Amino acid sequence: MVFSSRITYFAVMESKRDIEAILDFVRQHQREEVDRLLLSAGKYPGVDMPAVVDQLLARKQLKEKLPTWQMNDRLFYPARIAAEQCSNERTATYKQRLVGADDRLCDLTGGMGVDSFYFSRKVREVTYVERFADYCEAARHNFSELGATNIRVVHADACAYLAQMEAMDVCYLDPARRGEAGQRVFALSDCEPDLTALLPKLFEKVPRVIAKISPMADLSFTLKCLPATTAIHVLAVRGECKELLFCLERDRVVDNPVIHCVHFTTVGEEHFDFTMAQERGIETPVVGPLGPYLYEPNVAILKAGAFKSVSGYFGLNKLHESSHLYSSERKIEHFPGRRFQIEEVIPFHGKACKNLNRRLPKANLTVRNFPLTVSELRKRLKIAEGGDRYLFATTLRGEERVLIGCVKLTE
């Protein structure tokens, strides 16, 4: 189905800004410093300099986060904060796996339109809903430039639109996580809209809901707030947890939803699935001797709390019950995280530790279950950052504090 790019919920909206003029100016001055442009704004009468600056700063923010959009100089960004808050390109693409080709989807918190666009590459049609007129204006322009003809732009408040929305197959929403004073909030009830209050109304319109939750949220507590959850996806990109996706269904009850831990690396994807029931079912982790190989699970697994499950699945020993480092006698292939070969174990006391910087002037430091932070440890050891050696400061099962010197293994 093809939609007109100028349909809105309230009315057809005339452009408040000359987007083409702003983009032309940006292309001509894209190599100039932002501060210099602001100081010389008087030389360019009639130019919307704040909008120009937003374009330049947004493009810098999106270079790694949204490279396909960043390389397209015909796209317009409504505000710098929109670029800051939008989905990563890899997580947005991943969400296509959660919907079907025949689905009709409504994105109730449209924002910059990244998720709406990538959903539109998979589903039959998308309705983009956004309460800020400037965002709708930018989304309408960008969808047209990107050739996304199956997206309808709706200028409306999500709750108001939901009351009159026709039945759809799935709703997606990413509640705003900033309070009235601009501070970050994480509780569902503090976000806008409040998903816990809105969910009954959502289920009157759609059988499925996909909610993007703050990566800082507690999974167990959020699951209790959203009992209709059928699956959870923990998404990380290059060592940083980016999104928690809760998939909910109206007519299906799942006692122990599967938690999918997905880490997008520079070379591919790492996956690990488990349930909270499985994690609880492992009474105590296997705390064993330190073997020649060391393992650090990726950030998605650590965020999800699969500390005992990953140990049991791969047959690894935990270095300490409160540590999230693991060891084995044999090398484990395709481990979802970093793998190392241990070269030495140094007690965190005495002459060997004190004089370590003489033979190891720089190394990559990590602390796990250790009383010092990385910066405090680096200051004490007088070891610079970098190089191909790794030092893990941790506590072993006998409460012995050590430094484990390693080299990183590659697949």
pLDDT for 80 equals 87
Structure tokens at 222: 């959020």
Same-domain status, 65 and 177: no
Same-domain status, 141 and 266: yes
Whether residue 358 is contained in a domain is answered as: yes
10 Å CB burial of residue 177 (0-12, 13-18, 19+) is buried
Among 276, 308, 324, residue at a domain's last position: 276
What phi and psi values does residue 404 have, to the nearest 5 degrees? Answer: -105, 115
pLDDT for 10 equals 40
Whether residue 214 is contained in a domain is answered as: yes
Which three-class secondary structure state does DSSP give residue 169? coil
| Preceding amide of 175 cis, omega within 30 | no
Same-domain status, 61 and 90: no
pLDDT for 303 equals 97
Among 257, 276, 295, residue at a domain's last position: 276
Question: Which residues, in sequence order, are CB contacts of 399 under 8 Å at separation 6+?
Answer: 320
- The strand order across the sheet containing 362-368 reads 317-318, 326-328, 293-297, 337-347, 401-409, 384-395, 362-368
pLDDT for 179 equals 46
Same-domain status, 266 and 289: no
Same-domain status, 60 and 126: no
pLDDT for 249 equals 97
Report CA-CA distances (Å) from 49 to 19, 27, 44, 75.
12, 13, 8, 17
- Decide: 181 and 146 in contact? Cβ < 8 Å: no
* Rounded-to-integer distance, Cα 39 and Cα 78, Å: 22
pTM of the predicted structure, to 2 decimals: 0.90
Same-domain status, 377 and 395: yes
Structural domain range at position 53:
19-83
Structure tokens at 143: 């969808």
Same-domain status, 38 and 168: no
pLDDT for 177 equals 64
For the chain of 411 residues, list the mean pLDDT of each consecutive stretch of 10. Answer: 42 59 92 86 86 92 94 93 92 98 97 97 98 95 97 95 94 77 61 88 96 93 94 97 97 94 95 96 76 97 96 92 92 96 92 87 96 95 94 93 94 68
pLDDT for 1 equals 54
Using the structure block, give the residue that is written with the tokens 């020993």. 317
pLDDT for 397 equals 86
Which residue in 266, 274, 194 sits closest to 234, CA to CA?
Answer: 274
Same-domain status, 115 and 52: no
* Rounded-to-integer distance, Cα 237 and Cα 228, Å: 27
Whether residue 3 is contained in a domain is answered as: no
- Cα dihedral 89, 94, 97, 98 sign: negative
Same-domain status, 72 and 124: no
Whether residue 13 is contained in a domain is answered as: no
Strand partners for 234? 244, 261
What phi and psi values does residue 148 have, to the nearest 5 degrees? Answer: -90, 90
- Decide: 215 and 241 in contact? Cβ < 8 Å: yes
Q: How many domains does the chain have?
A: 3
- Decide: 319 and 327 in contact? Cβ < 8 Å: yes
Same-domain status, 194 and 150: yes
Among 27, 59, 83, residue at a domain's last position: 83
CATH for 256: 3.40.50.150
